[in-house]
Structure 1
Amino acid sequence: MADDDLDDDMDDDEDLDDEEGGSGGGGGKKKILMLAIPLVLIIGGAAGAYFTGLLDPLIGAEESAEGEGGEGGEGGGEAAGPVAFTDLPEILVNLNTTGRKSSFLKIRVSLEVPNALEVDKVVAVQDRVVDAFQVYLRELRVEDLKGSAGMYRLREELLARVNAAVAPVKVNDVLFKEMLVQ
Structure 2
Amino acid sequence: MAEATTEIEEEAPKKASKLPLILALVLALGGGGGAFFAIYSGMILGSDEAEMAGAGAEATKPFVAPDVAFIALDPMTISLGRASEGRHLRFTANIEVPSNQEDNVRKVLPRIVDVLNGYLRALRMEDLEDPATLVRIRAQMLRRIQVITGPDAVSDLLIVEFVLN
Q: TM-score, normalised by structure 2?
A: 0.62
Shift of 1:170: 3.4
SS state of the match for residue 162, structure 1? helix
- Unpaired runs of 5+ in structure 2? 1-29, 59-64
Q: 1:40 to 1:153 in 2, by over 3 A?
A: closer
In the TM superposition, residue 89 of structure 1 has moved relative to its aligned partner by 1.1
1:121-143 alpha-carbon deviations (Å, 9 max, x no partner) = 11111011011101111111222
Aligned to 1:26: none
Q: In structure 1, how many angstroms separate the alpha carbons of the residues matched to 2:75 and 2:66? A: 28
- Is the Cα contact below 8 Å between 2:90 and 2:164 reproduced in 1? yes
**Match for residue 128 of structure 1?**
111
CA distance 1:57–1:138, shift in 2 (3 Å): same
What aligned pairs does 1:103-114 form with structure 2 within 5 A after superposition? 103-113=87-97
Per the alignment, residue 79 of structure 2 pairs with 94
Match of 2:122 in 1: 139
Work out the CA distance in 2 between the residues paired with 1:105 and 1:42. 53
Residue 68 of structure 2 aligns with an amino acid whose one-letter code is V
Structure 1 residue 81: Cα displacement:
3.3
Task: State the 4+ residue runs in structure 1 displaced beyond 4 angstroms.
Answer: none
CA distance in 2, matches of 1:151, 1:54: 38
Aligned mates of 2:162, 2:121 — CA distance in 1? 14
Q: Alignment length, in residue pairs?
A: 126
Identity of aligned residues (%): 29
The answer to which structure has the higher helix fraction is 1
One of 54, 58, 80 as aligned partner of 2:54: 58
The structural deviation recorded for 1:44 is 3.4
1:176 counterpart letter in structure 2: I
TM superposition score normalised by structure 1: 0.57
Runs (5+) with no aligned partner, structure 1: 1-32, 63-79
- Superposition CA RMSD, Å: 3.3
Shift in Å at residue 85 of structure 1? Answer: 1.0
Does 2:155 match 1:172? yes
Q: Distance in 2 between matches of 1:54 and 1:135?
A: 53
Partner of 2:18: none
User: How far apart are residue 172 of structure 1 and its match?
Assistant: 2.1
**Larger radius of gyration between Structure 1 and Structure 2:** 1
The answer on 1:41 being equivalent to 2:37 is yes
CA contact (8 A) 1:121 1:169 kept: no
Q: 1:40 offset after TM fit, Å?
A: 5.9
Deviates more, 1:156-165 or 1:170-179: 170-179
